[in-house]
């Protein structure tokens, strides 16, 4: 019985490692917790403890583990639905500062980097953005940002 208990606990730990590297939204984690609970129960019984001690301890281990697994699984599902917060697409809507401009294209500083940029809309034909002027990023197309003049309510303080 002790051998089966040790095998069940080790199987549960292995399943937790697999869950950590290939998230299954808590499915493998739940099975792992149940295996660990069963292994603890078998180990207590083989050690001479009666059912009065083994069952509450095994249920406590399994209950706490299933609770943690449920919370972690919910966080995984929630994070999959969240919008992108990193990468180039996170620049859309942010302010950039013009470094240089010539004709319809130029360079702007945004998010700590120097980007190629082109005018989306908001500038008449004559005045092009001046160096140091603030613009708003409208889109990201490869390595080129499309920018526009900020609206009066968008001007950074």
Residues 92, 29, single domain; the answer is no
DSSP-based three-state secondary structure for 123? coil
Residue 137 has a pLDDT of: 92
With bands split at pLDDT 50, 70 and 90, how would you rate the model's confidence at 123? low
pTM, entire model: 0.51
How far is the C-alpha of 41 from the C-alpha of 49, rounded, in Å?
10
47-71, pLDDT tens digit by residue? 787 778 888 888 888 888 888 888 8
Provide the pairing of β-strand 113-121 with 144-148: parallel
| Pairwise pLDDT comparison (90 vs 106), residue with the higher score | 106
Average pLDDT of the segment spanning 44-49: 81
**In this model, does residue 96 exceed pLDDT 90?**
yes
Using the 8-state DSSP alphabet, how is residue 12 labeled? H
| Pairwise pLDDT comparison (89 vs 110), residue with the higher score | 110
> Is there a contact between 25 and 65 (Cβ–Cβ < 8 Å)?
no
- Asked whether the CA dihedral 9, 11, 12, 18 is positive or negative, the reply is positive
**In this model, does residue 84 exceed pLDDT 70?**
no
Can you give the residue range of the structural domain that contains 62?
A: 2-81
Average pLDDT of the segment spanning 112-125: 79
Residues 17, 76, single domain; the answer is yes
**What is the DSSP code string of 35-92?**
HHHHHHHHHHHHTT--HHHHHHHHHHHHHHHHHHHHHHHHHHHHHHHSPP-SSGGGGT
Entry field: residues in the chain: 157
Residue 14 has a pLDDT of: 92
Average pLDDT of every residue of the chain: 85
Residues 53, 99, single domain; the answer is no
Tell me the two tokens of residue 56: 């509450």
Residue 14, number of CB atoms within 10 A of its CB: 13
Residue 99 has a pLDDT of: 95
Residue 156 has a pLDDT of: 63
- Quote the number of domains for the chain: 2
Residues 64, 117, single domain; the answer is no
16-34, pLDDT tens digit by residue? 889 888 878 778 888 998 9
CATH no. for residue 136? 2.40.50.140
């Amino acid at each position: 019985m002790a051998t089966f208990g040790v095998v069940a606990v080790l199987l549960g730990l292995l399943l937790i490692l697999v869950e950590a590297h290939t998230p299954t939204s808590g499915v493998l984690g739940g099975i792992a917790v149940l295996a660990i609970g069963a292994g603890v129960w078998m180990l207590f019984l083989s050690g001479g403890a009666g059912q009065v001690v083994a069952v509450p301890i095994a249920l406590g281990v399994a209950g706490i583990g299933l609770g943690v697994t449920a919370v972690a699984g919910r966080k995984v599902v929630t994070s999959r639905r969240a919008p992108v917060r990193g990468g180039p697409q996170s620049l859309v809507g942010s302010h950039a500062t013009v470094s240089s401009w010539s004709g319809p294209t130029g360079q702007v500083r945004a998010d700590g980097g120097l980007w190629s940029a082109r005018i989306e809309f908001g500038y008449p034909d004559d005045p092009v953005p001046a160096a140091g002027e603030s613009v708003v990023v409208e889109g990201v197309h490869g390595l080129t940002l499309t920018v526009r003049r900020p609206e009066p309510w968008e001007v950074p303080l």
